[in-house]
């Protein structure tokens, strides 16, 4: 067979949307029959989904190859986004929307007698992440593809993504997630792209040079998923590594009947890519986690160097061709690892290796919470990565000598620990925070001394989300209205949503906006009735708080105020109450007992309130289990109110807040993270602001009695705490929440009590505003109209200009 010549254009350059329906139909049937080996009468929903996925995938391969060829031919600089998490969700519908085949696919599937929606929902979420940080990585991949930014995402192909959540008597129970138990149609295994990853052992000095003699090795083997951008103009690669053993299966042992021992090396190696760590609350010094981080990082760097050298470039020119972004400190071993590869494998001297490495690396910080900042005991670090321990000490030494004014308490290795934040900072040419407020706090509180020594290194890149998934795909009614109103093309020029502002004064437009929201609410109400037996009234305010369960995010504040709300209705049954549905969604880390107790309380309060005939039509609580990306895609378009109520100074940015805004849900929130910028864009009239500021929070904590004083000053809060302590919501175990109530009185670190009254009042303003239909619709529409800043395209342009120095290829 003739080889396909590299210089001939790849054969699918016709606009993808023009693809005739018959060709797609034929391809689906061809895949059903020849790829899946299924005859049409016997095909199941799974078979049809797979056949459709393969037919859609075929149409991404063209743009994918073209993008790779162009990057290569034009010698373009590439971005390499290293992340322990990619929270992708479903892929099929996103791909269909991005290549413009939405209508064609619907028609063809209907023709084939298949329910397209059901096929879409048959796909399991790729849940290779915990929350915001992982979802951001997925949005960034999509935006880089949309902008034509040549890029690779590097991560781990976890066999088990984030656990599944169930409630048993209101308590969270975790079960393993199993997304790879079915074939995964979006990936291409690349067994030829494999690297040896060393661990442990000794460092020997021979001929005046250091040699690492590892004690263990595993193989990292690549699996590639194409990520296609808007309108299929560009596609990049998400390369996930799976672990394989270097030592072969032990046939001798097997033949002797020792089956378990024969399979041992295999089992051991595979643990490396077996499970995603589900705890993003507290750092734990687990050796397996360190090994996973090094596994990802070393495989990625070996791959990057191989590609760079095979293009005929010199190592000295690495920074001209390669930008590497560290998503939090999880891949911060990239600094010492790249130095090691350059020195030990390529004979470079330390000073040059250090310079090259620093010019390539950028570091994004995603949290200020001290308990989440990674630190490794030098014992563990030196044991797992003995050569890196030497290099880290050398880096620290170089830094101290080069900046002699560095205070003694600053450094990478301190108190027998390796601090990954300091390591990432020192090894990166740029460090960024994820919202304006957060970046200021990174400068002032997290790295004040390093910021003084390296002024200008810390920059801000406020997060964003992809409007293709989070508006165009998940909210067809609103997306359709937007296109009708401002014309086509807003999806990759989100500033054009501003055009909606001219129409908010038009009653016809407001009615259409209302109808779109209502359609989503009706659909959600139907889903909720089957999912968690809540009877939702589409005329109620849909008030939504979805995110990981953390004390600082204060789901507790929300549920306490729900109790106050319930009591107020009882006390004042004839007031003009606006019906409300309070929706919660989110998982707690399996070991985070306090978060699990909050989940239990929400469910207990929900059971009692939902069953109260006196308030049933005015207040309901829904907590559907197993919140994930797909559930977010149902909830967010149907939300009227976005709950963003963290203790100020604690939420680095938030990205859910941006998704709600885009979908026309005003925020009730504190001045925290990107809420600050949302408020700035949308204006104070269209945002329910309450609570202490970050500065006031710090001051308030200086008073050891702040909680008691706040409670004593608030009758509603006293009543709520009294009811919970008495067991009103846990009649089977009246003292269940004694501990929780005691902690609010005496150890209220996240200032739930101090902000309670302000929150309660702000919720009253929400009721008031919602009752005025025109006012509310105007607010909601202005939220959408002014959300353009929060496209992740804007964020990625910022990274390209300020951090990566990469030019878009389209």
In this structure, the number of other CB atoms found within 10 A of the CB of residue 226 comes to 22
User: 133 is written with which tokens?
Assistant: 């940080």
φ/ψ region of 377 (left if φ > 0, alpha if ψ in -120 to 50, else beta) reads: beta
Catalytic residue among 77, 90, 366, 600: 366
In this structure, the number of other CB atoms found within 10 A of the CB of residue 585 comes to 24
Choose the stretch contacting ligand 26V; rule: CB under 6 A; options: 27-35, 127-135, 341-349, 471-479.
127-135
Measured from the CB of residue 90, what is the shortest distance to ligand 26V in angstroms? 21
Q: Do the beta carbons of residue 308 and residue 322 sit within 8 Å?
A: yes
Closer of 283 and 737 to ligand 26V (Cβ): 283
130 contacts ligand 26V (rule: CB under 6 A): yes
Closer of 420 and 777 to ligand 26V (Cβ): 420
Q: Do the beta carbons of residue 473 and residue 97 sit within 8 Å?
A: yes
User: 699 is written with which tokens?
Assistant: 């001051």
Window 263-302: contact mask with ligand 26V (x via CB under 6 A)? --------------x-xx--x-------------------
Q: Which residue has the tokens 């930014």?
A: 149
653 contacts ligand 26V (rule: CB under 6 A): yes
Choose the stretch contacting ligand 26V; rule: CB under 6 A; options: 157-165, 218-226, 650-658, 693-701.
650-658
Measured from the CB of residue 592, what is the shortest distance to ligand 26V in angstroms? 12
Burial bucket for residue 10 (CB in 10 Å: 0-12, 13-18, 19+): middle
677 contacts ligand 26V (rule: CB under 6 A): no
User: 215 is written with which tokens?
Assistant: 């004690």
Measured from the CB of residue 187, what is the shortest distance to ligand 26V in angstroms? 23
Closer of 56 and 658 to ligand 26V (Cβ): 658
User: 804 is written with which tokens?
Assistant: 């990566």
In the DSSP assignment, the letter for residue 43 is -
Bridge partners, residue 479, by sequence:
none
Residues sharing a CB contact under 8 Å with residue 116, sequence separation 6 or more, in sequence order:
105, 106, 109, 110
Closer of 479 and 636 to ligand 26V (Cβ): 636
Measured from the CB of residue 674, what is the shortest distance to ligand 26V in angstroms? 7
230 contacts ligand 26V (rule: CB under 6 A): no
User: 644 is written with which tokens?
Assistant: 């963003």
Q: Do the beta carbons of residue 85 and residue 128 sit within 8 Å?
A: yes
* Residue 443 designated active-site: no
**Minimal CB distance to ligand 26V: which residue?**
132
* Residue 414 designated active-site: no
Measured from the CB of residue 450, what is the shortest distance to ligand 26V in angstroms? 20
133 contacts ligand 26V (rule: CB under 6 A): yes
DSSP string computed for 307-368:
HHHHTT--GGGHHHHEEEEEESSTTTTHHHHHHHIIIIIT---HHHHHHHHHHHEEEE----
Catalytic residue among 375, 457, 517, 547: 547
Catalytic residue among 521, 553, 554, 778: 553
Closer of 31 and 659 to ligand 26V (Cβ): 659
Bridge partners, residue 583, by sequence:
544, 622
Measured from the CB of residue 463, what is the shortest distance to ligand 26V in angstroms? 5
Residue in 83, 104, 221, 367 binding ligand 26V, rule: CB under 6 A: 367
DSSP string computed for 73-142:
HTT--EEEEE-S-EEEE--HHHHHHHTT-HHHHHHHHHHTT--HHHHHHHSPPEEES-SHHHHHHHHHHH
Burial bucket for residue 414 (CB in 10 Å: 0-12, 13-18, 19+): middle
* Residue 476 designated active-site: no
Measured from the CB of residue 132, what is the shortest distance to ligand 26V in angstroms? 3
Window 603-642: contact mask with ligand 26V (x via CB under 6 A)? ----------------------------------------
* Residue 548 designated active-site: yes
Q: To which H or E segment does residue 195 belong?
A: strand 188-199
491 contacts ligand 26V (rule: CB under 6 A): no
202-206 and 171-175 beta bridge pairing: unpaired
The whole-angstrom separation of Cα 117 and Cα 453 is: 55
Measured from the CB of residue 393, what is the shortest distance to ligand 26V in angstroms? 23
* Residue 547 designated active-site: yes
719 contacts ligand 26V (rule: CB under 6 A): no
Give the distance between the most distant pair of CA atoms in the chain: 89
User: 547 is written with which tokens?
Assistant: 């995110």
Residue in 60, 88, 136, 583 binding ligand 26V, rule: CB under 6 A: 136
Choose the stretch contacting ligand 26V; rule: CB under 6 A; options: 196-204, 340-348, 645-653, 701-709.
645-653
Closer of 340 and 469 to ligand 26V (Cβ): 469
Measured from the CB of residue 360, what is the shortest distance to ligand 26V in angstroms? 22
Residue in 71, 655, 686, 763 binding ligand 26V, rule: CB under 6 A: 655
Catalytic residue among 329, 655, 667, 784: 655
Closer of 573 and 591 to ligand 26V (Cβ): 591
Residue in 63, 89, 131, 579 binding ligand 26V, rule: CB under 6 A: 131
User: 454 is written with which tokens?
Assistant: 């390296």
Q: Which residue has the tokens 């108190």?
A: 415
Torsion of CA 80, 85, 89, 90, to 10 degrees: 50
Q: Which of 593, 588, 602 is nearest to 532 (CA)?
A: 602
Residue in 366, 596, 736, 743 binding ligand 26V, rule: CB under 6 A: 366
* Residue 553 designated active-site: yes
Catalytic residue among 233, 521, 548, 736: 548
In this structure, the number of other CB atoms found within 10 A of the CB of residue 692 comes to 22
Choose the stretch contacting ligand 26V; rule: CB under 6 A; options: 8-16, 125-133, 145-153, 504-512.
125-133
> How many residues interact with ligand 26V (rule CB under 6 A)?
21
Q: Do the beta carbons of residue 215 and residue 199 sit within 8 Å?
A: yes
Measured from the CB of residue 653, what is the shortest distance to ligand 26V in angstroms? 4
Cα distances (Å, whole numbers) of residue 672 to 438, 446, 650, 751: 8, 17, 7, 14
Residues 306-345 that bind ligand 26V (CB under 6 A): 328
Measured from the CB of residue 277, what is the shortest distance to ligand 26V in angstroms? 4
Residue in 269, 652, 668, 682 binding ligand 26V, rule: CB under 6 A: 652
Chain residues binding ligand 26V by CB under 6 A are: 130-133, 136, 277, 279-280, 283, 328, 366-367, 372, 434, 463, 651-655, 673
Q: List residues with catalytic annotation.
A: 366, 547-548, 553, 655, 659
């Amino acid at each position: 067979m003739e080889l396909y010549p590299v210089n001939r254009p790849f054969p699918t350059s016709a606009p993808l949307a023009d693809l005739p329906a018959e060709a797609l139909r034929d391809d689906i049937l061809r895949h059903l029959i020849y790829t899946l080996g299924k005859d049409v009468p016997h095909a199941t929903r799974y078979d049809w989904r797979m056949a459709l996925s393969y037919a859609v995938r075929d149409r991404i391969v063209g743009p994918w190859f073209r993008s790779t060829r162009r990057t290569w031919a034009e010698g373009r600089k590439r971005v390499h986004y290293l992340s322990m998490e990619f929270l992708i969700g479903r892929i099929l519908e996103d791909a269909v929307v991005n290549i413009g085949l939405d209508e064609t696919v619907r028609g063809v599937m209907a023709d084939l007698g298949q329910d397209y929606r059901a096929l879409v929902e048959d796909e399991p979420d790729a849940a290779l992440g915990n929350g915001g940080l992982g979802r951001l990585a997925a949005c960034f991949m999509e935006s880089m593809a949309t902008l034509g930014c040549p890029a690779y995402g590097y991560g781990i192909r976890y066999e088990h993504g984030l656990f599944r959540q169930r409630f048993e008597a209101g308590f969270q129970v975790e079960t393993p997630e199993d997304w790879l138990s079915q074939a995964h149609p979006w990936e291409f295994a690349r067994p030829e792209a494999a690297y040896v990853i060393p661990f442990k052992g000794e460092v020997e000095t021979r001929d005046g040079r250091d040699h690492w003699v590892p004690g263990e090795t595993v193989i990292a083997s690549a699996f590639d998923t194409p990520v296609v951008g808007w309108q299929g103009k560009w596609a990049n690669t998400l390369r996930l590594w799976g672990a394989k053993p270097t030592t072969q299966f032990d046939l001798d042992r097997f033949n002797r009947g020792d089956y378990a021992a024969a399979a041992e090396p295999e089992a051991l190696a595979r643990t490396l890519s077996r499970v995603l760590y589900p705890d993003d609350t507290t750092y734990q010094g687990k050796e397996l986690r360190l090994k996973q981080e090094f596994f990802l990082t070393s495989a990625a760097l070996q791959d990057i160097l191989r590609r760079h050298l095979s293009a005929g470039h010199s190592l000295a020119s690495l920074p001209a061709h390669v930008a590497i972004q560290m998503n939090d400190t999880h891949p911060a071993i990239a600094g010492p690892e790249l130095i090691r590869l350059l020195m030990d494998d390529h004979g470079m001297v330390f000073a040059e290796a250090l310079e090259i490495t620093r010019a390539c690396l950028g570091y994004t910080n995603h949290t200020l919470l001290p308990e989440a900042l990674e630190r490794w005991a030098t014992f563990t670090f030196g044991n797992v990565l003995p050569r890196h321990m030497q290099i880290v000490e050398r880096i620290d030494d170089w830094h101290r000598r080069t900046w002699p004014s560095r205070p003694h308490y600053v450094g990478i290795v301190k108190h027998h620990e390796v601090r990954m934040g300091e390591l990432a900072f020192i090894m990166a040419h740029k460090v960024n925070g994820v919202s304006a407020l957060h970046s200021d706090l990174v400068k002032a509180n997290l790295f004040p001394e390093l910021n003084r020594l390296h002024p200008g290194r810390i920059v801000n890149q406020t997060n964003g989300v992809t409007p293709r998934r989070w508006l165009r795909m998940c909210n067809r009614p609103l997306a359709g209205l937007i296109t009708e109103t401002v014309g086509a093309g807003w999806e990759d020029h989100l500033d054009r949503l501003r055009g909606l502002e001219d129409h908010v004064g038009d009653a016809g437009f407001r009615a259409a906006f209302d109808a779109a929201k209502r359609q989503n609410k009706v659909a959600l109400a139907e889903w909720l009735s089957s999912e968690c037996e809540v009877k939702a009234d589409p005329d109620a305010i849909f008030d939504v708080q979805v995110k990981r369960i953390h004390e600082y995010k204060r789901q507790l504040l929300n549920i306490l105020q729900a109790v106050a709300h319930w009591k107020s209705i009882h006390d004042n049954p004839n007031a003009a109450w606006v019906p409300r549905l309070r929706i919660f969604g989110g998982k707690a880390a399996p070991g985070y007992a306090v978060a699990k107790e909050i989940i239990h309380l929400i469910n207990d309060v929900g059971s009692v309130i939902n069953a109260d005939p006196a308030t049933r039509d005015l207040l309901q609580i829904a907590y559907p289990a197993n919140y994930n990306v797909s559930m977010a895609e149902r909830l967010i378009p149907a939300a009227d109110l976005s709950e963003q109520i963290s203790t100020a100074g604690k939420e680095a940015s938030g990205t859910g807040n941006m998704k709600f805004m885009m979908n026309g849900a005003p925020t009730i929130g504190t001045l925290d993270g990107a809420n600050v910028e949302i408020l700035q864009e949308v204006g104070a009239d269209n945002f329910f602001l309450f609570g202490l500021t970050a500065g006031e929070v710090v001051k308030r904590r200086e008073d050891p009695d702040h909680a008691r004083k706040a409670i004593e000053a608030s009758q509603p809060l006293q009543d709520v705490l009294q009811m919970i302590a008495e067991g009103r919501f846990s009649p089977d175990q009246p003292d269940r929440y004694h501990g929780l109530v005691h902690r609010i009185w005496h150890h209220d670190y996240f200032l739930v009590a101090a902000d309670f009254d302000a929150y309660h009042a702000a919720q009253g303003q929400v009721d008031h505003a919602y009752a005025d239909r025109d006012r509310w619709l105007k607010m909601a529409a202005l939220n959408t109209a002014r959300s353009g800043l929060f496209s992740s395209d804007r964020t990625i342009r910022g990274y390209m200009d300020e951090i990566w120095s990469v030019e878009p290829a389209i």
